[in-house]
Structure 1
Amino acid sequence: MSIVYDETQKTFTLHTKNTTYQMQVDKYGFLLHLYYGKHAEGCMDYLLTYYDRGFSGNPYDAGNDKTYSMDSLPQEFPSLGTGDYRTPACIIKNTDRTYCSDFRYESHSIRDGKYALEGLPAVYADDSEAQTLEVVLEDRVTGVQAVLLYSVLPEYDIITRSVRIVNASSGHISVKKLAPACLDMVGGQYDFITFYGRHAMERNMQRMPIGHGVQKIGSLRGSSSHQYNPAVIMAEHEATEDAGGCYAMAFVYSGGFQSEAGQDQYYQTRLLMGFSEEQFAYPLSAGEEFQSPEVIMSYSSEGLARLSQNLHRCMRTHLCRGKYKEVVRPILLNSWEASYFDFTGKSLLKLASEAAKLGIEMFVLDDGWFGKRDSELRGLGDWKVNEEKLGCTLGELIGKINDMGLKFGIWIEPEMVNEDSDLYREHPDWAFVIPGRRPNRSRHQLVLDFSRKEVVDHIYNQICSVLDQGNVEYIKWDMNRSIADVYSATADSQGRVLHDYVLGLYDFLERLVNRYPNILIEGCSGGGGRFDAGMLYYTPQIWCSDNTDPIDRLEIQYGTSFIYPASCVGSHVSASPNHQTERVTPMKTRGTVALAGTFGYELNLNELSEEEKAEIRRQIAEYKKFAALVQRGLYYRLTNPQTDNQGAWEFVSEDQKEALVQVVGIKKHANMTVDYIKVKGLKENTMYRETTTGKLYNSTALREAGVPKPVLHGEYQAYQWHFVQED
């Protein structure tokens, strides 16, 4: 059993292969957190301490016992109104307009399998792979319930958490704050690892000590955002890639979020993950329920690499779905940087023909194929093929590309509308605009109100009418602005609109996945602006960043790797000088960096030299050789490209018989010193042959001393070693 309830001790113990999570119902009915860490047995309530602490109040139930205070006890679901003055996981405005929720234990159940969340993405598992604990807490004055859900995937060292608020009162309430995951640690010194950024420079890793007060990251943009990613790590100060304790929380949600971490007055640490508080006030009438998204949690006592591998395995095999979740993805060419809006059917076919000659497997038609869409200024919302521009029907174009031996893919941006569009002229109230105010434009577009079913249905039907015109095998789903001017003409409360918007997005995607199960969908939001676990449930790969510069990508993909598997990272070889940075880099280097993802091209093949085309053929052959290892292998970060002379990473097969080490030089000086790359994850004291040179290496020496990186002429050179265990 992975979940054990001890009736005598009133403890719930959740075991995974290597970890244990324990909580306890105390004598007053509060659900207290006891332990989360390396696998352990027995009751750990000895960790709780009770002292008379000034200005820390006592529940009335405690009578004259001044040592009992919710202001200092570790809790599973802390709420406002119990005398706990730390940042709460839940704030509810009650029917009588008071702000108080005193949740006490009522009941629980344990069952095999993984819970599912209606209308929301979630980790999935069958009855043999997971167990679920449901704990019902109730405010005995209002009758409002908080139903806590925990699922355990033992083989993955994963625990998921969600909460359902049930309005069992007789009147209207409002959920003002909700964090489905809380972790209270009574001791220890921790760092808060977060992933910040901006458009075209996403998920930069930041590590800062957790001190007194509250450190908070989040997104107010209606999406998970380029600026902060909805996944965090809490690590012991001394934790490294290979040693030390660390905890992860990844929000399976694509809207606004916040994560908070801080020490209290007694040096206890609280970590929260949940909804953004701003513009969130979800109304519930009597009898209604509100289901939160879930948070994926994991713990590693063996450092950050193992923690990342736990998350990678879970997301790749139990969050991503469909035909492509474990299949090597087709090598694609995207038309955007080759021609932007300036193309015709003939120019597209010429580009596709060159792609086919080079061994590329899929051609993707990006923005500009519909309506009057010749620039950013017009056309969004009018999803009708511009046959005049293509010189044929979409079906005919697809047929010609298929005849070349290429699959066909297409770009869409369903959530957006231009004011210069037939859709906006007919339905201006379908866009987010606050009455009496002029809207904030971004990329000359407004956001459609996906909280309204009729809006979602209309766009869904338009998109399906396009997809039904030919053999479409790939969709790039884009979202090119943040959400502002939030107002829905039909909502009973504006505080529910942003969450209902995300539910509308998920409804659209779920219908699309079910109707077209063989289409590969790649998520995108100006690159990595909605790179989150929620989207992976529908789109098993996400465009990592609009910035395709390989040197910037070293940092972007480094930060991404802490949480997300390489199999979901959209990564392409683009032109040099790069269109975003104007940096000049070797074609080999661009290919090496792109190989650490789903792999593809984004450039005008007709402008390449014969030498560059030969390099593409070599890269494609190399990708096919290593794709399975990259997609399913254990990922190791060998250097930090934010600070080191090079970016280096490694993929190791689960059986440890094969490893691919890749390195890109960043800093270059005269009379350059030699750097040694230490190889990880191989079997102890075992001989491995490097397949290019044929040289034999001892794995222990590779780990302890490393392999010297060659000193070559030129900037940004790429290096690679492929090690195979010697029989």
Structure 2
Amino acid sequence: MTPTDTRQAETVIEWTEGALHLRFDHGDDHPVRLVHWGSGPEAASVVAPMPIVDVSSAGERRARHDQSLLHWGAGLRLRYTGHHVEGDELLIHQREPESRLEVTSVFRAAGPGLQIRHTVRNSAETDIMLLNVSSALIAVPEGAHDLLWGESEWLAEGRWHQRPLKELLPNVNPEFHHRRNRGNFGVTSHGSFSSGAFLPTGVLALEDGPSIAWQVETSAGWHWEASQHEGTVTVGVYGPTDLYHQFAARLAPGEAFTTVPAGFCIAEGGRDAAFGALTDYRRAIRESRPIDARLPLVYNDFMNTLMAGPSTEKELPLIEAAAAAGAEYYCIDAGWYGTGNWWADSGDWHEVPGLFTGGLVSVIEAIRAKGMRPGIWLEPEAVGERAAAGRDLPDEAFFQRFGRRVSETGHYQLDFRHPAARAHLDEAVDRLVAEFGIEFFKLDYNVNSGVGTDVDAAGPGAGLLGHTIAFRQWLSDAQARHPEVLFENCGSGGMRMDYHLLSVAHLQSTSDQQDFRLYAAIAAAAPASVTPEQAGNWAYPDKSMSLEETAFAMTAGVMGRLYLSGFLGGLGAEQFALVREAIALHKDWRQRIARSHPVWPLGLPGWDDDVLALQLDAGAESLLAVWSRGGAAEVALPTLRGRTLQQVYPVALPEWKIRTVEGATRIEVQAGPAARIYTIR
């Protein structure tokens, strides 16, 4: 970290940290505003002046008449009281004299970006009810920006859209009406699936100028919006809010509330440059451990294989084949516990009596005998309706609404704010590590439990937020006790794919999609949401597949973190050779993938696109995957001008013809399903 340089004029705050330079102003007539973000004091600013935080409390008036969450009275009345620097963080203090709210805003340098959060403290003598507090506000001059946002749902994660901002926020000629713009484009989460409807990420892309990327870092409710303000566009990022998530936080005198963090990056070069900067920011905020750096290849027995129906007889041939293919970890998925009903027994984390010949330990020993490390599945927040934990734990340890437990399709939701809930999982994890030597936990989350819990909360959205913070702390504590154990974040696939959890998790399952043809679009888009080295893309070859289809299925895994499954022992010799070849290529590239940046030569993948492409750019060399899902076609890749392509997978199948037309690379793709992987130099 480079030394921090601060300089304060009468109404100006200057802060330089690495390549970041921020300037703020303040005065008696306005709150602190961010007025400059650039690479240095003399560099051009990317941002337009904007207050750094907005605060809404019960009984407070709005200062605008529109659909935006911006500009509440309390936020506008904040005034500067001081600032200081702590390490890589700048802290700015403000106070609102009427309500006596005090706000400390924290700007943390992280890689090429900023992580921003605010703490609101009640210094009055009576309670204050908070309804909304922004995590970050960034304004930019209006320009020819495109706005990018991602939709998501179970089995269809990462469906990105890119539209000109002027189409989403049309010019309504506000001057003619003597009014301000009311234009607002918002994206909002729903319930406890933080990425179950939309992705907590967005981009304002400008091809011939600076682009901005952001993310909301919470597993609870969130909202981001882009709105017009007199020649500027403001991006507002929020955690849970009163309007969208039934959030409220009651602050007694002396109590404080801290917003969820928001991450922002600015980069020259359009969409891909913005996502590249966001990738490095995500790496900077991760709390990685030495064990994470190994990036091991995991086989999991679930997807298109045992589907939560394990037994010794079923596991042993899978273990044999996974080891022969090159897997380094072997994870036993759901169904190993309780009475064998993987859904209704969740929470009874003891092996099914008699399910495994010689006990579960015999399967674990078989995994180790083949040179692999054992893993196992848990759904830590779920308690099935038949599980003993549902009877043994107090009602206060579960989500409740109006005095009744929240139940979703036979699952109760544990509340990790309660010590009994945490103790229940601590006992399970510690016992499984001690008894079986478990070295990998797949942590799943399969239900959307709704807006939250009203136990010990002014609103259910606040209860959900408190639980998710406590759950992340539980996960960090478990890793501290077991530093050699890896923890995967799975949310029914990618339904809880956010950097509140991914900053402390090793791996993210990107989907539960079982159709390998559809999975290609998910894998190709995944690096927009998660670093490539955390993007656990399933590769599940099947004996029913042709050689081309086998290579197609394996390609998704190579272009991220190869997450292996399938009845590998039933594959033909040529198919199995394609599996081993893909695994060898992935292992050769995995450390380079871990420092790569995603590039989409054909644009972000459309769900029904016939041809998809993802490039993982590691500097002097890149890995490029091209999937064909339609008829034969020729595609142009102009961004590869002057580069050399070499097919590296699959080596035994025909090469697709590559030619150069007017300096642009063109590839003749064959009819699909078919895929090829190239190195680019």
TM class by shorter chain equals 0.7 to 0.9
Q: Deviations over 1:288-328 (max 9, x none)?
A: 11122211110012212222221212322441411244333
- Residue 675 of structure 1: aligned partner: 635
Cα distance change, pair 375–142 in 1 and its aligned pair in 2 (3 A): closer
Q: 2:121 aligns with which of 166, 175, 181?
A: 166
Letter of the structure 1 residue corresponding to residue 568 of structure 2: L
- Residue 24 of structure 1: aligned partner: 25
- Residue 52 of structure 2: aligned partner: 76
Q: 1:515 aligns with which of 460, 466, 481?
A: 481
* Matched position secondary structure for 1:293: coil
Cα distance change, pair 704–217 in 1 and its aligned pair in 2 (3 A): farther
* Matched position secondary structure for 1:229: strand
Q: 2:667 aligns with which of 709, 713, 719?
A: 709
| Maintained 8 Å contact 1:633/1:652 | yes
Q: Deviations over 1:12-54 (max 9, x none)?
A: 3445666644321134252123234565518979x98xxxxxx
Cα distance change, pair 687–422 in 1 and its aligned pair in 2 (3 A): closer
C-alpha deviation, 1:455, in angstroms: 1.6
Q: 1:622 aligns with which of 580, 585, 592?
A: 585
Letter of the structure 2 residue corresponding to residue 300 of structure 1: A
* 2-structure distance, mates of 1:704, 1:382: 64
C-alpha deviation, 1:491, in angstroms: 5.1
* 1-structure distance, mates of 2:12, 2:43: 10
| Maintained 8 Å contact 2:523/2:537 | no
Q: 1:276 aligns with which of 240, 244, 266?
A: 240
Letter of the structure 2 residue corresponding to residue 135 of structure 1: I
Q: Which moved more, 1:523-532 or 1:344-353?
A: 344-353
* 2-structure distance, mates of 1:388, 1:342: 14
Q: 2:189 aligns with which of 219, 229, 250?
A: 219
* Matched position secondary structure for 1:179: strand
* Matched position secondary structure for 1:674: strand
- Residue 697 of structure 1: aligned partner: none
* 1-structure distance, mates of 2:585, 2:299: 15
- Residue 445 of structure 2: aligned partner: 479
- Residue 232 of structure 1: aligned partner: 202
Cα distance change, pair 229–690 in 1 and its aligned pair in 2 (3 A): closer
TM-score (norm 2): 0.87
1:369 matched to 2:336? The reply is yes
1:146 matched to 2:122? The reply is no
Letter of the structure 2 residue corresponding to residue 531 of structure 1: M
| Maintained 8 Å contact 2:539/2:557 | yes
| Maintained 8 Å contact 1:89/1:178 | no
Q: 2:82 aligns with which of 107, 127, 143?
A: 107
C-alpha deviation, 1:438, in angstroms: 8.3
| Maintained 8 Å contact 1:569/1:597 | yes
1:416 matched to 2:382? The reply is yes
C-alpha deviation, 1:509, in angstroms: 0.4
Q: 2:326 aligns with which of 349, 352, 359?
A: 359
Q: Deviations over 1:509-565 (max 9, x none)?
A: 011111111111110010001111111122121001111434323332343323422
Cα distance change, pair 492–259 in 1 and its aligned pair in 2 (3 A): closer
- Residue 136 of structure 1: aligned partner: 93
1:379-398 mapped onto 2 (5 Å cutoff)? 379-398=345-364
- Residue 660 of structure 1: aligned partner: 623
1:184-583 mapped onto 2 (5 Å cutoff)? 184-208=139-163, 209=165, 210-211=168-169, 212-236=182-206, 239=207, 243-264=208-229, 266-277=230-241, 278-376=245-343, 378-427=344-393, 429=395, 430-435=397-402, 439=406, 441-442=408-409, 444-484=410-450, 486-489=452-455, 494=460, 496-576=462-542
Q: Deviations over 1:241-281 (max 9, x none)?
A: xx5321111122221111111113x2432211121212211
* 2-structure distance, mates of 1:261, 1:577: 49
| Maintained 8 Å contact 1:573/1:600 | yes
* 2-structure distance, mates of 1:214, 1:457: 45
* 1-structure distance, mates of 2:546, 2:78: 57
TM-score (norm 1): 0.82
- Residue 64 of structure 1: aligned partner: none
Q: Deviations over 1:445-485 (max 9, x none)?
A: 22122232222222222232222212212111000011127
| Maintained 8 Å contact 1:187/1:268 | yes
- Residue 61 of structure 1: aligned partner: none
* 1-structure distance, mates of 2:451, 2:269: 46
| Maintained 8 Å contact 2:54/2:76 | no
- Residue 172 of structure 2: aligned partner: none
Letter of the structure 2 residue corresponding to residue 710 of structure 1: E
Q: Calculate the aligned-residue CA RMSD, in Å.
A: 3.2
* 2-structure distance, mates of 1:422, 1:450: 18
| Maintained 8 Å contact 2:634/2:669 | yes
| Maintained 8 Å contact 2:192/2:449 | yes
C-alpha deviation, 1:184, in angstroms: 2.2
* 2-structure distance, mates of 1:687, 1:573: 28
* Matched position secondary structure for 1:401: helix
Cα distance change, pair 632–441 in 1 and its aligned pair in 2 (3 A): same
Cα distance change, pair 514–104 in 1 and its aligned pair in 2 (3 A): same
Cα distance change, pair 513–256 in 1 and its aligned pair in 2 (3 A): same
- Residue 606 of structure 1: aligned partner: 569
* 2-structure distance, mates of 1:415, 1:105: 42
Q: 1:182 aligns with which of 131, 137, 150?
A: 137
Q: Deviations over 1:200-252 (max 9, x none)?
A: 1012112232415221112131241221111111223xx3xxx5321111122
- Residue 59 of structure 1: aligned partner: none
